[in-house]
A and B are shown apart, each in its own frame.
Chain A
Amino acid sequence: MDYFRVRKSSLLFSSKGNVESFLTLLPQVVIFLISLQLLFLSMNRNIGGYLDQKKISESAIQSSKGGNEDYERLSMIGGGELLIRNREVNQQNLLSFFWPTKVKLLSIVVDESSIQ
């Protein structure tokens, strides 16, 4: 019991450190955080890409031509249309909360509803 009391107080009030451990842990932590950041960004980009593809696929199936379309409709050779959704989104990341990373999402789908 006395041992823990002494140990706790020395941890709180001691200013001693080990420069080796600092120099060792610093690159480890930096590389680990960069890896984590990349995983986080790639996961978000994949989710965004799939959601965009889902949205224009639904538009193509339902052949909805509302006024607030945020995708391009391009005529195809021989009839039909090609829907392309191309946008850049700001993605929050772990390390730089104030400077979000821009990610480009591109989705494409064939709309057959206008084929005669």
Chain B
Amino acid sequence: MKPGILFRSTRGSAISEFLVFTLPFFTALLFMVVLVNDKNMAISEAKNLARQSVRAFVTSPSNELAQARAYQVIDLYQSRLSDGEKFKRKIAMTINCSESPCLVKGGKVTVLIKVSANGLSGLTSDVVAEASEFVDLWR
């Protein structure tokens, strides 16, 4: 066979070429499905935890107990996760207040939840959700 024939010939196996081109895309799709699902779960979890934590915080009877109540929500939630899930989704919380001390009537409290979602092959993506509430004026 002359070397030039390779450049002139357009013959080939359509099936093999189809496989070579599409299999990587399908494999990538498989990974994407898993990653998107993990991310979706982490977003949903972070949003709910932020809402519940800030609610626990602003309904505290005293300023001293407020932070403990918010952390209690996170701790109890984490204690119900399996070991694998605890490793897979690490939860961290940050509390920001517009006033000092935090539990002042009309003060705004913001809770920020960060969930680190460890996906396939060690890929980590952080999901951040926040929820804000005002301390009751008639407390």
Contact = CB atoms under 8 A, between A and B. Distances in A.
Interface of A: 18, 20-21, 24, 27-28, 31-32, 34-35, 38-39, 42, 45-46, 49-50, 53, 74, 76-80, 82, 84, 86, 104, 106-110, 112, 115
Nearest to B59: A112
B76 A74 contact: yes
Given A20-B15, A42-B37, A110 B56 contact: yes
B62 interface: yes
B72 A84 contact: no
Nearest to A108: B77
A34 B30 contact: yes
Contacts of A106: 77, 80-81
Contact of A42 (B33, B60, B69, B82): B33
Interface stretch (B20-28, B106-114, B121-129): B20-28
Contacts of B10: none
Contacts of B56: 76, 80, 82, 110
Interface of B: 13, 15-16, 18-19, 22-23, 26-27, 29-30, 33-34, 37, 40-41, 44, 48-49, 52, 55-56, 59-62, 65, 68-69, 72-73, 76-77, 80-82, 85
5 contacts: A24-B16, A24-B19, A38-B37, A78-B68, A115-B59
A109 B76 CA distance: 11
Given A39-B33, A110-B59, 11 more contacts: A24-B18, A28-B22, A31-B29, A42-B33, A53-B48, A76-B69, A77-B65, A80-B59, A106-B81, A109-B52, A112-B55
Contact of A76 (B15, B23, B33, B72): B72
Contacts of A109: 52
Contacts of A108: 48-49, 52, 73, 76-77
Contacts of A78: 60-62, 65, 68-69
A24 B73 CA distance: 52
Nearest first, the 10 A-B pairs at minimum CB distance are: A42-B37, A78-B65, A31-B26, A24-B19, A38-B33, A24-B15, A86-B80, A110-B55, A78-B61, A77-B68
